[in-house]
């Protein structure tokens, strides 16, 4: 963890237009929760639907994509990463610092709004709010780690990330049930199921698979991203 690198990364993410996108999604989630509450949809079923369809399936991967690629891809894209990499800072430490920055953003912009909007609908009933907030937090870490790695591997990180988050996790996941085992969303849900006893919530990935998978993916992606930075060719590979 290098505080200077962390400070630069925070400024790059929060000082530009990217913050509009980071704010837009959680605000939309809270707006939907308020609308549901006003129209009398504050029952456990619609709360579960909102959490499942919007918070976990849409907001989380998108925020992960924006935060995870946002901490590193623009710098690689416009070449300013050279200034960072030519300093005597271990490159894996740079990758770890950037991961921590992105992870903290996920906690603020994904987990907190998830808890708040579920709480708006059902309060602390069935532990739904806590379950989804924890699921969003842990899966958020995994998402930013994976997208950080993607950002160091390819210049099309955002597009590939979208294809993973949309096509793999939703379309392929619903058609081929086995693919759901390899979906960060499903791991998040399996944690939510464990904590919450909401009757409408259900998953087909066991906790015994989800937790090790989340840990391995997160740690593996961060370490691999550090490795990618170590062997990064400053001249670019095109």
Partner 1 sequence: MSEIYDIGYRHYDGPRLGRGYSTRALTVHSLRGVFGLGRTARSKIMPFALGVIMLLPAVVSIAMMALIKQHGMSYSSFAVSMQTVLAIFLASQSPTVVAPDLRYRVLPLYLSRPVAIAEYVTAKVIAMTVALFLLIALPMTLIYVGELLIDLEGPPQTKEYLGALAMALVLALLLSSFGLAIASLTPRRGLGVASIIAVYLLASASVPVIYGTLQSAGNTSGALWAWLVNPFWLVDAVQVWLFDTTPNALDGSGYPPGPAPAIIVVVLIAIGLAALAARYRKAAAQ
Contact with partner 1 (CB under 8 A) among 108, 163, 207, 216: 163
Closer residue to partner 1, CB minimum distance, 13 or 213: 13
Pick from 84, 60, 58, 55: nearest CA to 72: 84
Element (H, E) at 182: none
Q: Check binding of 170 to partner 1 (CB under 8 A).
A: yes
Nearest approach in angstroms of CB 11 to partner 1 is 16
* Of the residues 13, 54, 101, 193, which one makes contact with partner 1 according to CB under 8 A: 54
**CB neighbours of residue 147 within 10 Å:** 29
Our measurement of the distance from residue 238's CA atom to the centroid of its chain's CA atoms, rounded to an integer in Å, reads 29
Residue of 105, 111, 163 whose CA lies nearest to 138: 111
Complex with partner 1: residue 63 or 217, whichever CB lies closer? 63
The phi, psi pair for 203, rounded to 5°, reads -145, 160
* Structure-derived torsion over alpha carbons of residues 219, 11, 62, 224, reported in degrees to the nearest 10: -20
**C-beta of residue 120 within 8 angstroms of C-beta of residue 55:** no
174 binds partner 1 (CB under 8 A): no
93 binds partner 1 (CB under 8 A): no
CB-CB contact of 92 with 229 (8 Å): yes
* Closest CB 88 distance from partner 1, rounded Å: 29
Q: Which is nearer to partner 1, 40 or 177 (CB)?
A: 40
Name which position in 3, 15, 17, 86 contacts partner 1 (CB under 8 A). Answer: 17
In the complex with partner 1, the residue whose CB is nearer, 160 or 211, is: 160
Exactly one of 12, 49, 93, 107 binds partner 1 (CB under 8 A); that residue is 49
169, 184 Cβ separation under 8 angstroms: yes
Residue numbers at the binding site for partner 1 (CB under 8 A): 17-18, 21, 24-25, 28, 32, 35-36, 39-41, 46, 49-50, 53-54, 57-58, 62, 65-66, 69-70, 73-74, 77, 156-159, 162-163, 166-167, 170-171, 238
């Amino acid at each position: 963890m290098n505080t200077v690198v962390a400070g630069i990364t925070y400024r790059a993410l929060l000082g530009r237009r990217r913050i509009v996108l980071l704010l837009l999604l959680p605000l939309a989630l809270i707006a939907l929760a308020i609308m549901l509450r006003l129209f009398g949809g504050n029952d456990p079923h619609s709360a579960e639907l909102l959490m499942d369809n919007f918070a976990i399936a849409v907001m989380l991967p998108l925020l992960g994509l924006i935060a995870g690629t946002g901490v590193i891809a623009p710098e690689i894209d416009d070449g300013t990463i050279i200034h960072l990499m030519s300093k005597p800072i271990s490159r894996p430490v740079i990758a770890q610092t950037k991961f921590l920055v992105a992870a903290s953003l996920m906690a603020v912009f994904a987990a907190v709004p998830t808890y708040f909007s579920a709480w708006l609908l059902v309060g602390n009933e069935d532990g739904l709010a806590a379950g989804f907030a924890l699921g969003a937090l842990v899966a958020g870490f995994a998402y930013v780690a994976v997208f950080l790695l993607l950002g160091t591997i390819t210049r099309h990180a955002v597009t590939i990330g979208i294809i993973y988050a949309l096509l793999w996790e939703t379309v392929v996941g619903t058609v081929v049930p086995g693919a759901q085992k390899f979906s960060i969303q499903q791991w998040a849900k399996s944690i939510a199921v464990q904590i919450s006893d909401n009757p409408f919530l259900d998953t087909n990935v066991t906790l015994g698979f989800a937790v090790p998978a989340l840990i391995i993916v997160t740690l593996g992606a961060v370490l691999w991203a550090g490795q990618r930075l170590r062997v990064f060719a400053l001249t670019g590979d095109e």
